Amino acid sequence: MSYLALARKWRPRSFTELAGQDHVMRALVNALQTGRVHHAFLFTGTRGVGKTTIARILAKSLNCETGMTPTPCGVCSACREIDEGRFVDLIEVDAASRTKVDDTRELLDNVQYAPARGRYKVYLIDEVHMLSTHSFNALLKTLEEPPPHVKFLLATTDPQKLPVTVLSRCLQFNLKRFPPAMILNRLKFICEQESIEFEIDALRMVARAAEGSMRDALSLLDQVIAFGGGKLTAEDTRTMLGTLDRAQVFGIVEALMARDARKVLDRVNELDEHAPDYREVLAELASLLQKLALLQAVPDLQIDESDDVETYKKLAAAITPEDAQLFYQIAIVGRRDLELAPDARGGFEMVLLRMLAFSAQEVVASAGSAPSAAPAPARSAGASSGGGVPASVRAAAAAPAPTQSPAPAVQAAHAAPSAPAAPAAPAAASGSDGDWNAMVAQMGLGGITRQLAANCAFLGRQGNKVRLSLAPEGAHYRTAMMEEKLKQALSTYYGESVVLEFVEGEASGGEVMNTPARQLKAAADDRLQNARSSIENDPNIRAMKEIFGATVTPESIRPTDNH
């Protein structure tokens, strides 16, 4: 007996066997139970998601000899003939090979005749978007008002190409891609039923490679079984699919976090032995970084169970949110530009070295310490005496331009073991202890941690306990991760381990908390008010108002910097 491919052997035969398309199954089952079955259905979706399978199950439900039912018996002659593809009243048409209007007219000539065996004559037109414009026009009238014994089941992967006149005559159901976890469970069930030895990692790779298509997954499973001689191993599957070992991507990210260029290039050498597609490697790297960012934002997020969850959580805790975002951006831009590189490996190495060359703190620092940015508030248009931003506030708002030691991330990568920078912090602390603006500037904070600090006021230090008052508008910046980072920065600043205590709400005694963020906002409001006053008092503006009846829109006025 000839071998039957798994995709055909394990095709669902009834709605009860169907999985992953509950929204479609529910509508069809209810329609069959109530007898309200439309005359034309359109099933859309990518390849291998069950369009033709659902259409055949519906044809069986309409023509089962036990009666029209959502649970066809599967044993009567009509059900068996439909499963075998030889039922005379189920006319399956491949629109891709019959695009001409003459083919459509020939097909419709037999619509008027009653079914030979079944209850309904069912026309199943696959890839219906391939029909020509004239073929659609010939089909329209019959599709709108077919004889009572005719049902049309249309399937397409590209519904955008269908005329709206066809779409308006059909009940449309969009079939979804299968998630990798669902494909994995199905593959595991089939392997157990077929008594095939398998490694779960091999099935995970097949499920991911299928990209949401169950048919592709079963075809790949057949291929891997043949490649492995009847057994499924992760190594054989990776070799056959050309899949990148995810552990190698984890290793690259770990080397990037360590700021170790030699280790990064060693990882690339190991990777190059498998002749990978470096564009796909960058895609895998970006996907990994995206999941790390999700876990940082929502630590209890349930990611795809086919992934190594513990490794993801470990990396998410080790990498900073700023670096995760920066690495992700560099990866996707590098993937786009990889074709411009002299060779793929060289372009990939340059992308990784670009990640090493920058850190999120350095990027913010360079923006905050640019010559044109620091003095800007004092020379802004409309900023009179008292409207400028104090120097200490400017230092707290912009990332620091390090004078004594680089930012912690850069220091870890470049400082020699014999020259630690930690002893310099207490000396700085002794001169600015109590001045929270200066303390924030010297700690070298960045990103969300800086926002948390900027929305706090310094209440004092008792022993190793540092007390901060957190303004209500900054409460959402306080997370366990950000609090821990601020505590570590303060410990480095004081040269000893400190305990951080937050007091939420305004300062006691009815005083308004004067945080760096509020000082910046007050200074910006003053500059804006001064700028608007300057415009209102300008003689030229007044002349235009008097002569031309001009008006000034206050919202359009913005202070500008003079350099």
Domain CATH for 272: 1.20.272.10
For residues 148-159, average pLDDT: 93
Write the single-letter amino acid at 197: E
Q: Is residue 374 one of the residues assigned to a domain? A: no
Res. 511 pLDDT band, cuts 50 70 90: low
pLDDT value of position 304: 63
pLDDT value of position 71: 92
- Asked if residue 279 and residue 209 are part of one domain, the reply reads no
- Asked if residue 10 and residue 126 are part of one domain, the reply reads yes
Res. 192 pLDDT band, cuts 50 70 90: very high
Q: Which domain holds residue 270?
A: 246-358
Query: Which of 44-58, 154-168, 307-321 is the least confident region?
Result: 307-321
Which of 423 and 280 is assigned the larger pLDDT? Answer: 280
pLDDT value of position 507: 56
Q: What tokens does 484 get?
A: 């821990």
CB 223 within 8 A of CB 191: no
- Asked if residue 486 and residue 338 are part of one domain, the reply reads no
Number of structural domains, the chain? 4
Query: Which of 76-85, 145-154, 283-292, 547-556 is the least confident region?
Result: 547-556
Does 563 score more than 60 pLDDT? no
Q: What tokens does 189 get?
A: 């069930």
Tokens 């280790």, residue located: 263
Does 547 score more than 90 pLDDT? no
| DSSP string computed for 235-269 | HHHHHHHTPPPHHHHHHHHHHHHTT-HHHHHHHHH
Does 421 score more than 70 pLDDT? no
H runs (alpha helix) in 117-177: 133-144, 164-167
Report CA-CA distances (Å) from 143 to 24, 28, 98, 113, 137: 21, 19, 17, 15, 10
For residues 89-114, average pLDDT: 86
- Asked if residue 292 and residue 254 are part of one domain, the reply reads yes
Mean confidence (pLDDT) of the chain:
82
* Sign of CA pseudo-dihedral 229, 232, 235, 239: positive
Return d(Cα 330, Cα 36) in angstroms, integer: 55
Res. 234 pLDDT band, cuts 50 70 90: confident
**Distant-in-sequence, close-in-space partners of 457: CB < 8 Å, separation ≥ 6:** 436, 468, 469, 471, 507, 513, 514, 515
Which helix (H) or strand (E) is 456 found in, with range?
A: strand 456-462
150-156 vs 40-44, strand pairing mode? parallel
Q: Is residue 220 one of the residues assigned to a domain? A: yes
H runs (alpha helix) in 98-245: 101-108, 133-144, 164-167, 180-193, 200-209, 214-227, 234-241
pLDDT value of position 410: 35
pLDDT value of position 175: 93
pLDDT value of position 30: 94
Which of 106 and 54 is assigned the larger pLDDT? Answer: 54
pLDDT value of position 559: 80
pLDDT digits (tens, 9 = 90+) for 324-378: 999 999 999 999 999 999 999 999 999 999 998 886 555 444 544 444 333 333 3
- Asked if residue 342 and residue 403 are part of one domain, the reply reads no
Return d(Cα 430, Cα 201) in angstroms, integer: 57
Does 418 score more than 50 pLDDT? no
For residues 285-289, average pLDDT: 91
Count of C-beta atoms within a 10 Å radius of residue 336: 11
- Asked if residue 332 and residue 407 are part of one domain, the reply reads no
- Asked if residue 134 and residue 121 are part of one domain, the reply reads yes
pLDDT value of position 509: 52
For residues 438-451, average pLDDT: 86
Which of 194 and 365 is assigned the larger pLDDT? Answer: 194
pLDDT value of position 374: 38
* Sign of CA pseudo-dihedral 156, 160, 164, 167: positive
- Asked if residue 153 and residue 33 are part of one domain, the reply reads yes
Q: What tokens does 372 get?
A: 């044109």
pLDDT value of position 424: 37
Res. 561 pLDDT band, cuts 50 70 90: low
Q: CA nearest 9: which of 175, 233, 186?
A: 186
Tokens 């923006």, residue located: 367
- Asked if residue 256 and residue 233 are part of one domain, the reply reads no
Of 219, 241, 263, which residue is a domain's last?
241
Tokens 């190793």, residue located: 464
pLDDT value of position 460: 87
For residues 403-410, average pLDDT: 39
